[in-house]
Amino acid sequence: MIGSELNTVEIRNLSFGWGDRVIFDNVSINVPKGKITAIMGPSGSGKTTLLRLIGGQLLPQSGTVLANGFNIPTLERKELYQARRQMGMLFQSGALFSDLSVFDNVAFPLREHTQLSEPFIRDIVLMKLEAVGLRGARYLMPDELSGGMKRRAALARTIALDPNLLMFDEPFAGQDPISMGVLVKLIRLLNDALGVTSIIVSHDVPETCSIADYVYVIADGKVVGHGSPESIKNSDSRWINQFMHGLPDGPVPFHYPAKNYQQDLIGG
Amino acid sequence: MLSAIQSLGRSGIEFCDNAGKTTLFLMHALIARPQGLKSFRLLVPQLYMVGVLSMIIIIVSGLFIGMVLGLQGYTILVKFGAEQALGQLIALSMVRELGPVVGALLFAGRAGSAITAEIGLMKVTEQLSSMEMLGVDPLRRVIAPRFWAGQISLPVLTLIFTAVAIYGGYVVGVQWLGVDEGSFWANMRNSVDFREDIVNGIIKSLVFGTLVTWIAVYQGYTCPPTAEGIGKATTRTVVFSSLATLGMDFILTAIMFGGFN
Amino acid sequence: MQKRTTEIAVGFFFLLGILAFAMLAMQVSGISKIYTLKEGYKITADFENIGGLKPRARVTIAGVAVGRVVAINYDPKDYVARVSIVIDNKVNNIPDDTSASILTSGLLGDNYIGLSPGFSEQFYKEGSHIPVENTSKAVVLEELVSKFLSSQASGLK
């Protein structure tokens, strides 16, 4: 087992880009065990890409990604699929399999990866659904669910195999306040009850900061700040300040670069 | 001038790159050895989607094509006093060419585009990604069953198509236009050889099945994950499949029927 | 529930396919028998002109198929076409003065070989040979036309 015992995920000197575009430039991140770590930043800063790198769906140009002791980029296809069984990823849209019922969706990883009998699987599925509050909806099809319910069902599926690392890709995006509250409660609950390590990628500052134990702020391919939610909110950096408080103008300017206003009006 | 050669070279390299990618993709999807009952359970729903649901269009089109062949064939043959040859005209056209080729074109339009759209949609809604993250290879679970379903369905559909068309020609030629029933079938039987014609037709439909399904599955899997991307991919499936079918048909026909003596 | 009807439908689909195949095999094509060397015996026949005869063409007696052409070669010594034929073992009483002609099937048809039995008490067996005297060549259109034209010309004189 390589890497520190304290961190479930360790990212060291990660560099990644698409062609000429640099997404990450020598980034290092620690995700401590059993805690909720938030990764925040503006849209397009590559937050989702980071989760894909941890999950092995993308290969970095350089650097190491250690998750549960596996050096992800070096794994063979078969080993990678093994490593993924200890991880759970909740996608932004839930990504339930549209041709299977809620029950079958949650049962899917169990049926694929275990030899458990159907009665046993049924019990596990019902337990997971109960944890997210959807036990009564087990036979509904995904297109009969609301957005929030889809995410909860997908969450139940994600924890079916009891992974020790959960990754949430923009879990709060576009949710109504009630669904948001439900999700916040569930994430905190799973963390406390099951001791799973969670990574939340989001740009919803209030919700995320209400449950995160540690925050990383990423912009322009670099980590521009990290610390507890309080220390980040009170950060000296003007940039972080603008982001965390949602100020319309600051280091990220309101006006797109343009000519002098008066000259533009006169000239046209 | 130099830049024209450069861009030509670049497209050549891109073409080879794409050809390589599609081949590797296909191998990955297929060399997944079927795991007995589990694979069969995945295959059956796909056979339904791809084969059974295409039956209506195949049967109806087959009937009409056969009837048109009967009508047109009769009109031309009767000028030479050779209307007794109508049976063999219809049978040979269908078995050798129209059955496999038109069948493949209809299949590409109906089933091929459906496969592409379905896989593309699964890609857009991140179902394929989440399947990967759950540790299940989508190539085995989603792509391979659809490929085999298409490969198996097209020859079966072609047989049905050809048989229905010949029947349609029989209805028009014998019942309606008065060609002698006995000579209709007898001449047909004399001129259609099982090994040369029917088996070759089946071989053609097997080859077309591979081509069309392969293209459909690849386009769906590699489409850009947007609504526009799926639309374009579906169109590409139909266009590429049709061109590949027609091109391959020429090659196969030349091999099978062209090089006598 | 939904799965059951799916399976039934797929089964029906294949059933239709098999029916179609059977129909094509029996109604539409004459399932051709290729006589292998075990089921048949090989004889050769020389022809002055084979016309459009091709390998795998039928060999018939009284219009019924009894064999197949397996090979057509040219014999440079005798300047004839040597056609190799396989005949069904069950038809083993063809007299050895039988004549062979190349005929055309139907109006637009292919060429095939028709055998007219002779009267000899000896029969053909493996390796027998029909000499060119006992064969008539195919009807070649050009010769017909020139014959016709020359008969017309002599008629006019």
CA distance B193 to chain C (A): 5
- Choose the closest CB to B125 out of A84, A88, A95: A95
The residue-averaged pLDDT of A238-257 equals 77
Query: CA of A161: which chain B residue's CA is closest?
Result: B134
Domain boundaries, chain C: 2-31, 36-140
- Least confidently predicted of A14-18, A137-141, B48-52, C2-6: C2-6
pLDDT at C18: 92
**A8 touches A67 (CB < 8 A):** yes
Answer whether C7 sits within 8 Å of B164, measured CB to CB.
Answer: no
pLDDT at B150: 93
Answer whether A81 sits within 8 Å of B137, measured CB to CB.
Answer: yes
Residue A189 has pLDDT above 90, yes or no: no
- Best of B48, B174, B184 to disrupt the C interface by mutation (most C CBs within 10 Å)? B48
How many Å apart are CA B29 and CA B128, to the nearest integer? Answer: 14
pLDDT at B261: 41
Judged by a CB distance cut-off of 8 A, whether residue A85 touches chain B is: yes
CA count, 13 A, side-chain hemisphere, A184: 19
Sequence-distant (6+) residues with CB within 8 A of B172 are: B66, B67, B70, B71, B74
pLDDT bin (cut points 50, 70, 90) of residue A32 is confident
Predicted TM-score (pTM) of the model is: 0.78
Answer whether C17 sits within 8 Å of B156, measured CB to CB.
Answer: yes
Q: Which of A17-21, A181-185, B170-174, C75-79 has the highest mean pLDDT?
A: B170-174
Judged by a CB distance cut-off of 8 A, whether residue C44 touches chain B is: no
One digit per residue, the tens of pLDDT, for chain B of length 261 reads: 788 888 888 888 887 877 777 777 777 666 665 666 777 888 889 999 999 999 999 999 999 999 999 999 999 998 888 888 898 899 999 999 999 999 999 999 999 999 999 999 999 888 998 888 888 888 888 988 999 999 999 999 999 999 999 999 999 988 898 888 888 888 888 778 787 788 899 999 999 999 999 999 999 998 888 889 999 999 999 999 999 999 999 999 998 877 554
Answer whether C34 sits within 8 Å of B195, measured CB to CB.
Answer: yes
How many Å apart are CA B242 and CA C29, to the nearest integer? Answer: 29
How many Å apart are CA B165 and CA B72, to the nearest integer? Answer: 14
Q: What is the pLDDT of residues A67-95, one digit of tens each?
A: 888 888 888 877 888 888 888 889 887 78
- Which residues 26-85 of B are in CB contact (within 8 Å) with C? 44-45, 47-48, 51-52, 55, 82, 85
Percent of chain A with pLDDT over 70: 97
Sequence-distant (6+) residues with CB within 8 A of B170 are: B66, B70, B87, B90, B184
Residue A20 vs residue C68, higher pLDDT: C68
pLDDT at A237: 77
How many Å apart are CA A234 and CA A229, to the nearest integer? Answer: 9
CA distance A226 to chain B (A): 27
Sequence-distant (6+) residues with CB within 8 A of C58 are: C65, C67, C68, C69, C105, C112, C113
Judged by a CB distance cut-off of 8 A, whether residue A152 touches chain B is: no
Residue A39 has pLDDT above 80, yes or no: yes
- β partners of residue A89: A167
Residue carrying structure tokens 């129909």: C23
The residue-averaged pLDDT of A150-174 equals 88
Answer whether B194 sits within 8 Å of C25, measured CB to CB.
Answer: yes
DSSP string, C52-86: T--TT-EEEETTEEEEEEEEEEEETTTTEEEEEEE
Residue A4 has pLDDT above 70, yes or no: no
Residue C33 has pLDDT above 60, yes or no: no
pLDDT at A1: 40
Residues of B in contact with C106 (CB under 8 A): 85, 187, 190
Query: CA of A99: which chain B residue's CA is closest?
Result: B122
Judged by a CB distance cut-off of 8 A, whether residue C19 touches chain B is: yes
- C-beta neighbour count of A22 within 10 angstroms: 16
Residue C112 has pLDDT above 90, yes or no: no
Residues of B in contact with C16 (CB under 8 A): 55, 156, 160
Nearest one of C107, C119, C52, C46 to C77, comparing CA atoms: C46
Judged by a CB distance cut-off of 8 A, whether residue A128 touches chain B is: no
